[in-house]
């Protein structure tokens, strides 16, 4: 198990380094000069070549790309994520204000979609062809096809404007006003969880259906075990492993979805900051934000891999 | 029916091939949703091709005197804030959706399959490097990645297609690599190598051709994903430049009039959902027919 964990850890580190390289070089090699954007933002109308050179030096943009990369990395290790050109504030402060909001929204969606998705997929697989299976399958087919932003708008129209049950936008910290916070989060969490729930339940259903066909399940049935024992001991134990492995994908989709949903519901989280910064070409914010998203997914994938190896010893020797 | 396939009889493998085709048809069309999906896709394709003939009005012609009309007999879905006919814009929007779906998937498939083929065929250090790159690419949320790439590349339809294509390519590389790893163990690959075929020839003639079935499923489902991502991007405002029509940006434009004219924002969303749903269902149907593990059960 230690060898397995070490190997996975090295792999995850390699991926992390590659992610940072990709982010950095994509931001630098694609069209768009960060300095020009700064100049436009600052409204410096009489830019002289000397001033430009001075600014370039100030931002460290006159160094070679490799050195700039190491500067960036070194800064990150010290907790310095650079300065936002647009907000004139350190990226760290910007992120620190917004990450809790996105985390609140994302974690709730993640937990709800995992629990409900696995349960729904399990029920559907065990009652294949029945009414419950049809309901779950239809819902998950709907869930993976409906665009997030549109579902959000539909809910705003129906529950917010038409029925007036829920506030249509904004975010309140649960520590300030728990009830208001929950009311504001119902719609965004529902929308975010819909896709993830559909995705997880489809995974769970197909993987459990595969297991139900296995010989050892037939053996379990034929030796007269109770349904509960067959399901819990034989089917679930084997069938849920592939479901655990897609949690990284699920997380990545929830992060991506929150970029959209925070804009639909006007939630001041990282997602909305990212969209604003992408359009404002605020490259320090964008590269930090996308790096954080990538790192979060890699870390989750790492733990998924570890638990996978722990659940299924065969994986360790692979 | 069988008589029509008569020329096949000359070959000894003709018989299984016919039954294979029959099984394909039977499994594929057994489920109603798959047939429904195929029909929606067909209708969308026809609509997109004949948009100029079908659309009752010019989708970009503004008519401020007839702005924000509710659906009526002249404008079946009403008009938007600039007096443009919503139905006509929907019809032209189908062109963008399908174009982006096709091209983005094309970019994703060619890029991802090439990477997967090289990684799976050569193995070793090349496999390591490519697969770790793919892992890194996969760690980014697709929407965020496509958004950043699309804006950095400068927006516009072509760049959106490239951005979405790159975002989606990682899955292809992974699936392709897995398939290649198993296909390359086949005897016919060994036979080809023994008879002196070079790496490139083996990769293209013998391996690539046998990796297509799982790829077709992925391509179909990705058509839906690409359309959905494009819709989200154009909702955020990266899409094609106005006055071009994309379903996603129609939702954004209509959102302001949600209370008084809900059709403006809600109808384009239905179209997106229907098309994405259809591609997903047809993809599922194809998976059922092409997955060798299911052979014999359905």
Residue A39 has pLDDT above 50, yes or no: yes
The pLDDT confidence band at residue A247, using thresholds 50, 70 and 90, is confident
Residue B107 has pLDDT above 90, yes or no: yes
A147 and B273 within 8 Å at the Cβ level: the answer is yes
Q: How confident is the model at residue B1, as a pLDDT?
A: 41
Q: Which of B137, B139, B232 lies nearest to residue A147, judging by beta carbons? A: B232
Mean pLDDT is lowest, of A19-23, A42-46, A224-228, for A42-46
Using an 8 Å Cβ cutoff, are A174 and A104 in contact?
Answer: yes
pLDDT in tens, A230-242: 888 888 888 888 8
Q: How confident is the model at residue B295, as a pLDDT?
A: 61
Q: Return the number of other C-beta atoms located less than 10 Å from residue A288's C-beta.
A: 23
Six token digits for residue A49: 């070549």
Domains of chain A, start order: 98-279 (1.10.3720.10)
Mean pLDDT of B249-278: 88
The pLDDT confidence band at residue B273, using thresholds 50, 70 and 90, is very high
B254 to chain A, minimum CA–CA distance in Å?
10
% chain A with pLDDT above 90: 22
Q: Which of A149, A255, A289 lies nearest to residue B251, judging by beta carbons? A: A149
Please, what is the average pLDDT of chain B? 83
Mean pLDDT is lowest, of A53-67, A252-266, A301-315, B178-192, for A53-67
Q: Which residue has the higher pLDDT, A316 or A283?
A: A283
The pLDDT confidence band at residue A45, using thresholds 50, 70 and 90, is low
Residues of chain A contacting B277 with CB distance shorter than 8 Å: 141-142, 145
A185 to chain B, minimum CA–CA distance in Å?
20
Mean pLDDT of A295-317: 82
Residue B14 has pLDDT above 70, yes or no: no
pLDDT in tens, A199-216: 999 888 888 888 888 888
Residue B296 in contact with partner chain A when CB distance is under 8 A: no
Q: How confident is the model at residue A151, as a pLDDT?
A: 92
Q: How confident is the model at residue B9, as a pLDDT?
A: 47
| DSSP class per residue in A77-94 | HTT---B-TTT-SBHHHH
Residue B5 has pLDDT above 70, yes or no: no
Q: Which residues pair with B85 in a beta bridge?
A: B79
A294 and B224 within 8 Å at the Cβ level: the answer is no
Q: Which residues, 6 or more positions from A194, have their beta carbon under 8 angstroms from its beta carbon?
A: A113, A143, A146, A151
Residue B265 in contact with partner chain A when CB distance is under 8 A: yes
Residues of chain A contacting B141 with CB distance shorter than 8 Å: 252-253, 255-256, 259, 293, 297
Please, what is the average pLDDT of chain A? 85
pLDDT in tens, B204-214: 888 888 888 77
Residue B140 in contact with partner chain A when CB distance is under 8 A: yes
Size of interface A-B (CB pairs under 8 A): 139
Closest-approach residue (CA) in chain A for B294: A210
Residue B59 has pLDDT above 90, yes or no: no
Question: Which of A17, A19, A106, A256 best tests the B interface by mutation, with the highest count of B CBs <10 A?
Answer: A256
Q: How confident is the model at residue B6, as a pLDDT?
A: 47
Q: How confident is the model at residue B12, as a pLDDT?
A: 46
B248 and A145 within 8 Å at the Cβ level: the answer is no
pLDDT in tens, B150-193: 888 877 888 889 999 999 999 899 889 888 888 888 888 888 88
The pLDDT confidence band at residue B17, using thresholds 50, 70 and 90, is low
The pLDDT confidence band at residue A42, using thresholds 50, 70 and 90, is low
Q: How confident is the model at residue A127, as a pLDDT?
A: 85
The pLDDT confidence band at residue A160, using thresholds 50, 70 and 90, is confident
Six token digits for residue A219: 């053996």
d(CA A71, CA A60): 9
- This complex has an ipTM of 0.85
Mean pLDDT of A64-89: 82
d(CA B11, CA B14): 5
B33 and A15 within 8 Å at the Cβ level: the answer is no
Residue B158 in contact with partner chain A when CB distance is under 8 A: no
Six token digits for residue B212: 């297509």
% chain B with pLDDT above 90: 24
d(CA A240, CA A230): 14
Residue A40 has pLDDT above 80, yes or no: no
pLDDT in tens, B218-263: 898 889 999 999 889 888 888 776 667 888 888 888 888 888 888 8
Residue A190 has pLDDT above 90, yes or no: yes
A260 and B232 within 8 Å at the Cβ level: the answer is yes
**Exposure string for A80-95, b = 16+ CB within 10 A, e = fewer:** ebbbbbbbeebbbebb
Residue B224 in contact with partner chain A when CB distance is under 8 A: yes
Residues of chain B contacting A252 with CB distance shorter than 8 Å: 138-142
d(CA A215, CA A237): 15
Residues of chain A contacting B251 with CB distance shorter than 8 Å: 149-150, 153
d(CA B288, CA A47): 64
Question: Which of A109, A153, A303 best tests the B interface by mutation, with the highest count of B CBs <10 A?
Answer: A153
Using an 8 Å Cβ cutoff, are B18 and B7 in contact?
Answer: no
Global pTM reads 0.85
Q: How confident is the model at residue B298, as a pLDDT?
A: 53
A254 to chain B, minimum CA–CA distance in Å?
8
Q: How confident is the model at residue B243, as a pLDDT?
A: 66
Six token digits for residue B79: 């008009």
Residue B137 has pLDDT above 70, yes or no: yes
Q: Which of B149, B232, B255 lies nearest to residue A153, judging by beta carbons? A: B255
Domains of chain B, start order: 42-50+100-294 (1.10.3720.10)
Residue A34 has pLDDT above 90, yes or no: no
pLDDT in tens, A90-130: 888 889 889 999 999 999 999 999 999 999 998 898 888 88
d(CA A34, CA A40): 10
Closest-approach residue (CA) in chain A for B238: A279
d(CA A221, CA A230): 7
Six token digits for residue B236: 């955020």
Residue A175 has pLDDT above 70, yes or no: yes
d(CA A257, CA B150): 17
Q: Which of A46, A75, A58 lies closest to A291 in space, CA to CA?
A: A75
Which residues, numbered 86 to 115 in chain B, qualify as contacts with chain A under a Cβ-Cβ cut-off of 8 Å? none
Residue B135 in contact with partner chain A when CB distance is under 8 A: yes
A297 and B141 within 8 Å at the Cβ level: the answer is yes
d(CA A168, CA A153): 9
């Amino acid at each position: 198990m230690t060898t397995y964990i070490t190997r996975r850890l090295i792999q995850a580190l390699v991926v992390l380094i590659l992610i940072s390289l990709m982010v950095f070089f994509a931001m630098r090699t694609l069209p768009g000069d960060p300095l020009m954007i700064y100049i436009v933002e600052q409204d410096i109308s009489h830019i002289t070549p000397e001033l430009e050179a001075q600014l370039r030096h100030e931002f460290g943009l006159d160094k070679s790309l490799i050195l700039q990369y190491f500067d960036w990395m070194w800064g990150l290790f010290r907790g310095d994520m650079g300065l936002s050109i647009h907000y004139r504030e350190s990226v760290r402060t910007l992120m620190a204000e917004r990450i809790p909001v996105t985390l609140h929204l994302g974690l709730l969606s993640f937990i709800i979609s995992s629990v409900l998705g696995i349960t729904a997929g399990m029920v559907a697989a065990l009652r294949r062809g029945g009414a419950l299976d049809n309901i779950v399958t239809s819902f998950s087919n709907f869930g993976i096809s409906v665009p997030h932003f549109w579902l959000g708008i539909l809910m705003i129209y129906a529950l917010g404007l038409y029925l007036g049950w829920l506030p249509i936008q904004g975010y309140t910290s649960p520590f300030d006003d728990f009830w208001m916070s929950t009311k504001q989060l119902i719609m965004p969490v529902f929308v975010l969880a819909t896709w993830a729930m559909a995705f997880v339940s489809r995974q769970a259903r197909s993987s459990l259906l595969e297991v139900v066909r296995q010989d050892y399940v037939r053996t379990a049935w034929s030796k007269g075990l109770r349904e509960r024992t067959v399901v819990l001991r034989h089917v679930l134990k084997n069938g849920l492993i592939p479901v655990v492995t897609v949690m990284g994908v699920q997380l990545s989709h929830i992060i991506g979805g929150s970029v959209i949903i925070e804009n639909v519901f006007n939630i001041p989280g990282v997602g909305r900051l990212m969209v604003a910064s992408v359009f404002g070409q605020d490259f320090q914010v964008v590269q930090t934000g996308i790096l954080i998203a990538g790192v979060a997914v890699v870390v989750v994938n790492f733990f998924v891999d570890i638990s996978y190896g722990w659940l299924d010893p065969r994986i360790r020797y692979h | 029916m069988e008589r029509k396939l008569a020329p096949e009889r000359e070959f000894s493998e003709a018989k299984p091939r016919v039954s294979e085709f029959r099984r394909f048809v039977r499994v594929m069309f057994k489920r109603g949703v798959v047939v429904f999906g195929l029909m929606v896709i067909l209708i969308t394709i026809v609509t997109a091709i004949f948009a100029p003939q079908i659309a009752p009005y010019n989708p970009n012609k503004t008519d401020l005197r007839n702005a924000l009309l509710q659906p009526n007999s002249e404008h079946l879905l009403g008009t938007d804030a600039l007096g443009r006919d919503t139905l006509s814009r929907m019809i032209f929007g189908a062109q963008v959706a399908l174009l982006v779906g096709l091209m983005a998937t094309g970019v994703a498939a060619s890029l991802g399959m090439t990477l997967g083929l090289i990684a799976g065929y050569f193995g070793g250090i090349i496999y390591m490097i490519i697969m770790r790159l793919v892992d890194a690419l996969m760690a980014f949320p697709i929407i965020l990645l496509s958004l950043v790439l699309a804006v950095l590349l400068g927006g516009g339809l072509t760049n959106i297609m490239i951005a979405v294509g790159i975002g989606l390519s990682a899955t292809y590389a992974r699936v392709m690599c897995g398939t290649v790893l198993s296909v390359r163990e086949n005897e016919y690959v060994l036979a080809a190598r023994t008879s002196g075929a070079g790496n490139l020839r083996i990769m293209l003639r013998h391996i690539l051709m046998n990796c297509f079935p799982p790829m077709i499923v992925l391509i179909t489902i990705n058509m839906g994903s690409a359309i959905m991502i494009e819709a989200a991007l154009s909702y955020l405002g990266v899409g094609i430049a106005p006055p071009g029509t994309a379903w996603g940006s129609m939702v954004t434009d209509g959102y302001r009039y949600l209370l008084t004219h809900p059709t403006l924002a809600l109808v384009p969303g239905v179209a997106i959902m229907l098309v994405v749903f259809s591609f997903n269902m047809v993809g599922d149907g194809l998976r059922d027919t092409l997955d060798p593990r299911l052979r014999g059960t359905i």
